[in-house]
C-alpha cells in the first residue's frame, strides 16, 4: 500500500484545521505523528480514513484518490479518539458485531487478538463496566483484529500500564512484520521514537518536521 | 463514487444486507424501551375508547358494537376540517392522535446521531460505502415504523377480541355517536387501505424525513419540525399537507374534502423516495468529525 498526501488542507467553518500537508507512506513501515493537543493529528487520521473530505489537495491510496475513486481505504483498521463500543455488549460481542460486517474473521481470531491485547475473551463484563485501560485495549483490538493493511492508532497508549505498553509494542512489531502500514500518534516521544521509522511533527495543522528513526526492534525479516 | 460503482452487484447486495441487519438489530436495541412505553400508551388509548363506549351505552341504554377497525379509527381519526373553518371555536389538536404520531417521531429519533459517533464510524469503515450505510439507517427506520404500527394493531386486536371478537367493517352508529361523523362511505374494501396501508406508508415517509432532518440538524429540531407539520396540517385542511391524510376524519369518504387515500399513499411513496435520495447525497458529502466538532459541514469544492 502506498499513501500519498498532496497539499492537503481542510477547513471547517472558518478554521483551517489542516494546512498544506504533504506525506508519503508505504507498507511495512511505522509512521509516528507527534504534536500537542489541537495540532491536527486526529483530523489528519480522519482524512486518511476517508471520514472527512479535503478542502484542497488530495489523498492517493495506491494511485486512487480518496473521495473520488475510493470512498474509504480498501483495508483499514482505526482507533480514533476515545474507543467507542456498544455499552451493553461485552468485548467479544462488540468485536463479533463488527466482524459480521465484512465476515473476514471468526470467533477464534477475535479471541486470539483479545488475548494479545491483554483482555480475557471469556469475560462477559459489559463495555460500560470496563476501566479506561480495558477500553483502550479493546479499541486497539478493534483496529487490528481483521488484519487490515492500514492501521491507524490515535494515542493508543493512553491509560495503558507499563506491561500493556510492552504488549502493545510487540503488536506493532507484528504488524510491521506482516507488512502493514501503521500510523500512530502519541504524546510520548520516547515510545514514538522506539516504534516508528519516521516521525512527523505537527503544529497548528501543518507538518513542521520529519525525522527518520532507528526503531528499537529489528523488524527486518 | 467510482469505487462504489465498481463493487460487483453481488457484493453490493451482500453489503446492503449486512448493513441492514446490523442497523435493524442496533435500532431495536436502541428503542426497545420506547416500544414498551408504546404498549402502555396504546393500552391507555384503548381503555379510554372502551370507557367512552361503556359510558355512552350506560347513558343511552343501548348496546354499541365496537370492533378492531373501530378502535383504530378512533385512534387515527384526528379532527374534522369544519372545526377550523368555524372561527368561533378554539383550535385544539386531538391529543390521542398527536401523541401517537409524535411518540413515533420520538421512538425513531437519536439513533443516527449515535451511529455517527465512534462505533458507527467503525461500521462505516468496514462497509466502505456511505450510501449503503445510509440505506441501513433507512431500513431500520422503515422497519421500526412498521413495528410501531404492528404493536398498535396487536394491542388493539387484543382489546377488540376481549370486547366482542373480530368483526368486519366499521360501526356507523358508534362513530356517529362518539365523533358525529358518517363512516358509511368507507367501504369494507377500503378499510385495510385507510387504516393500515396508507398510515404506515405515509408515516414511514414522515419518519424518513425526520431522520434526514435530524441528520442535518439534530433530533430536537426534527421533533419540532414534525410537530409543526402535524399542527399546521391540523389547522389547514389541504391535500398538500401530509398530516391531513393521517386524520381519517378528513378523508374524502367521510368529510367530502379532497383528501383521498390514493393521494396519501402517493405522497408517502414520493416522500420515501425523496428522503432516500437526499440522504444519500447528503451523506456522500458529510464530514464525520466525531465528538469534538459541533458542526459537521458538507464538503466544499476544491
Average pLDDT estimate for A177-197: 89
Which pLDDT does position B290 carry in this prediction?
66
Which of B13, B27, B126, B302 best tests the A interface by mutation, with the highest count of A CBs <10 A? Answer: B126
Which pLDDT does position A5 carry in this prediction?
96
Burial of B43 (0-12, 13-18, 19+ CB in 10 A): middle
Res. B115: pLDDT tops 50: yes
Chain A residues whose CB is inside 8 A of the B289 CB are: 12, 43, 46, 51-52
Which pLDDT does position B295 carry in this prediction?
42
The mean pLDDT value of chain A amounts to 91
**Beta carbons of B29 and A46 less than 8 Å apart:** no
Nearest to A143 by CA among A78, A199, A190, A207: A78
- Residue-wise pLDDT tens digits, B18-62: 999 999 999 999 999 999 999 999 999 999 999 999 998 888 888
Chain B residues whose CB is inside 8 A of the A155 CB are: none
Res. B244: pLDDT tops 80: yes
Which pLDDT does position B302 carry in this prediction?
33
Which pLDDT does position B88 carry in this prediction?
56
B242: left (phi over 0), alpha (psi -120 to 50) or beta: alpha
* Domain parsing of chain B, residue ranges: 2-287
User: Which cell goes with A178?
Assistant: 506482516
Which pLDDT does position B207 carry in this prediction?
96
User: Which cell goes with B156?
Assistant: 388493539
User: Which cell goes with B222?
Assistant: 426534527
Res. B82: pLDDT tops 70: no
Res. A215: pLDDT tops 70: no
Which residue do the cell numbers 419518519 mark? B207
Torsion of CA A163, A167, A168, A169, to 10 degrees: 100
CB B57 within 8 A of CB B63: yes
- Residue-wise pLDDT tens digits, A154-173: 999 888 888 999 999 999 99
User: Which cell goes with A84?
Assistant: 467507542
Write the DSSP symbol of residue B186.
Answer: S
Enter the pTM of the model: 0.89
Which pLDDT does position B300 carry in this prediction?
40
Res. A18: pLDDT tops 80: yes
- Residue-wise pLDDT tens digits, B214-230: 999 999 999 999 999 99
Average pLDDT estimate for A135-155: 96
Average pLDDT estimate for A54-70: 93
The mean pLDDT value of chain B amounts to 87
Q: What is the C-alpha to C-alpha distance for residues B298 and B92, in angstroms, rounded to an integer?
A: 40
Which pLDDT does position A218 carry in this prediction?
45
Q: Contacts from B239-245 at CB under 8 Å and sequence distance 24+?
A: B239/B263, B242/B202, B242/B205, B242/B206, B242/B267, B242/B268, B242/B271, B243/B78, B243/B101, B245/B198, B245/B202
Maximum separation of any 2 CA atoms in chain A, in Å = 49
Chain B residues whose CB is inside 8 A of the A100 CB are: 18, 21-22
Which of A49, A83, A84, A93 best tests the B interface by mutation, with the highest count of B CBs <10 A? Answer: A84
Which of A18, A47, A59, A72 best tests the B interface by mutation, with the highest count of B CBs <10 A? Answer: A72
Tell me the shortest Cα–Cα distance from B301 to chain A, in angstroms.
7
Which pLDDT does position B168 carry in this prediction?
77
* Residue B7 pLDDT class (50, 70, 90 cuts): low
Chain B residues whose CB is inside 8 A of the A46 CB are: 288-290
Tell me the shortest Cα–Cα distance from B11 to chain A, in angstroms.
10
* Residue A65 pLDDT class (50, 70, 90 cuts): very high
For residue B277, give every residue at least 6 positions away whose Cβ sits within 8 Å of its Cβ, in sequence order, or none: none
Of the given ranges (A113-117, A155-159, B139-143, B264-268), which has the lowest mean pLDDT?
Answer: A155-159
What percent of chain A is modeled with pLDDT above 90?
80
**Beta carbons of A85 and B302 less than 8 Å apart:** no
Restricting to A residues 32-91, those with a Cβ less than 8 Å away from any Cβ of B are: 42-43, 46, 49-57, 64, 67-72, 74, 76-78, 80-86, 88
Cross-strand bridge partners of residue A126:
A90
Res. A182: pLDDT tops 70: yes
Which residue do the cell numbers 516504534 mark? A195
Res. B294: pLDDT tops 50: no
Alpha-carbon B160 to chain mean position: 23
Of the given ranges (B130-139, B149-158, B185-194), which has the lowest mean pLDDT?
Answer: B185-194
Q: What is the C-alpha to C-alpha distance for residues B32 and A60, in angstroms, rounded to an integer?
A: 43
Of the given ranges (A68-72, A81-85, A194-198, B88-92), which has the lowest mean pLDDT?
Answer: B88-92
Res. B9: pLDDT tops 50: yes
Res. B296: pLDDT tops 50: no
3-state secondary structure B38-52: HHHHHHHHHHHHHHH
Amino acid at each position: 500500500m502506498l499513501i500519498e498526501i498532496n497539499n492537503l488542507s481542510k477547513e471547517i467553518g472558518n478554521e483551517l484545521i489542516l494546512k498544506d500537508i504533504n506525506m508519503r507512506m508505504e507498507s511495512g513501515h511505522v509512521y509516528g505523528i507527534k504534536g500537542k493537543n489541537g495540532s491536527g493529528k486526529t483530523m489528519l487520521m480522519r482524512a486518511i480514513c476517508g471520514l472527512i473530505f479535503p478542502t484542497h489537495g488530495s489523498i492517493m491510496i495506491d494511485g486512487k484518490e480518496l473521495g473520488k475513486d475510493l470512498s474509504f481505504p480498501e483495508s483499514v483498521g482505526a482507533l480514533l479518539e476515545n474507543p467507542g463500543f456498544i455499552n451493553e455488549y461485552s468485548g467479544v460481542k462488540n468485536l463479533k458485531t463488527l466482524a459480521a460486517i465484512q465476515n473476514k474473521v471468526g470467533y477464534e481470531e477475535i479471541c486470539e487478538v483479545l488475548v494479545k491485547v491483554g483482555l480475557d475473551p471469556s469475560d462477559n463484563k459489559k463495555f460500560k463496566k470496563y476501566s479506561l485501560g480495558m477500553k483502550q485495549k479493546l479499541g486497539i483490538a478493534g483496529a487490528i483484529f481483521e488484519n487490515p493493511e492500514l492501521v491507524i492508532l490515535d494515542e493508543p497508549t493512553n491509560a495503558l500500564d507499563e506491561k500493556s505498553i510492552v504488549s502493545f509494542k510487540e503488536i506493532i512489531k507484528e504488524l510491521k512484520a506482516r507488512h502493514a502500514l501503521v500510523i500512530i500518534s502519541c504524546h510520548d516521544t520516547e515510545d514514538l521514537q522506539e516504534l516508528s521509522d519516521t516521525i512527523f511533527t505537527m503544529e497548528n495543522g501543518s507538518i513542521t518536521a520529519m525525522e527518520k528513526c532507528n526503531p528499537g526492534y529489528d523488524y527486518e525479516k | 463514487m467510482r469505487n462504489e460503482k465498481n463493487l460487483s452487484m453481488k457484493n453490493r447486495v451482500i453489503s446492503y444486507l449486512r448493513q441492514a441487519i446490523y442497523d435493524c438489530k442496533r435500532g431495536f436495541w436502541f428503542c426497545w424501551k420506547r416500544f414498551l412505553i408504546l404498549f402502555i400508551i396504546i393500552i391507555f388509548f384503548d381503555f379510554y375508547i372502551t370507557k367512552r363506549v361503556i359510558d355512552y351505552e350506560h347513558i343511552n341504554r343501548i348496546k354499541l358494537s365496537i370492533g378492531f377497525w373501530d378502535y383504530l379509527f378512533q385512534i387515527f381519526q384526528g379532527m374534522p376540517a369544519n372545526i377550523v373553518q368555524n372561527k368561533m371555536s378554539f383550535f385544539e389538536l386531538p391529543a390521542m392522535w398527536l401523541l401517537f404520531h409524535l411518540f413515533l417521531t420520538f421512538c425513531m429519533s437519536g439513533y443516527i446521531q449515535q451511529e455517527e459517533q465512534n462505533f458507527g464510524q467503525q461500521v462505516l469503515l468496514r462497509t466502505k460505502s456511505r450510501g449503503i450505510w445510509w440505506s441501513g439507517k433507512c431500513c431500520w427506520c422503515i422497519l421500526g415504523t412498521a413495528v410501531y404500527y404492528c404493536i398498535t394493531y396487536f394491542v388493539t386486536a387484543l382489546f377488540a377480541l376481549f370486547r366482542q371478537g373480530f368483526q368486519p367493517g366499521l360501526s356507523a352508529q358508534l362513530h356517529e355517536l362518539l365523533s358525529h361523523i358518517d363512516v358509511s362511505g368507507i367501504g369494507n374494501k377500503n378499510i385495510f387501505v385507510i387504516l393500515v396501508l396508507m398510515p404506515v406508508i405515509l408515516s414511514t415517509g414522515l419518519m424518513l424525513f425526520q431522520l434526514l432532518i435530524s441528520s442535518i440538524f439534530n433530533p430536537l429540531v426534527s421533533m419540532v419540525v414534525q410537530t409543526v407539520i402535524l399542527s399546521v396540517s391540523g389547522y389547514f385542511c389541504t391535500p398538500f399537507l401530509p398530516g391531513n391524510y393521517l386524520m381519517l376524519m378528513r378523508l374524502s369518504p367521510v368529510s367530502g374534502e379532497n383528501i383521498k387515500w390514493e393521494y396519501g399513499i402517493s405522497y408517502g411513496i414520493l416522500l420515501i423516495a425523496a428522503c432516500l435520495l437526499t440522504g444519500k447525497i447528503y451523506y456522500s458529502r458529510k464530514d464525520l468529525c466525531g465528538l469534538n466538532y459541533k458542526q459537521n459541514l458538507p464538503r466544499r469544492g476544491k
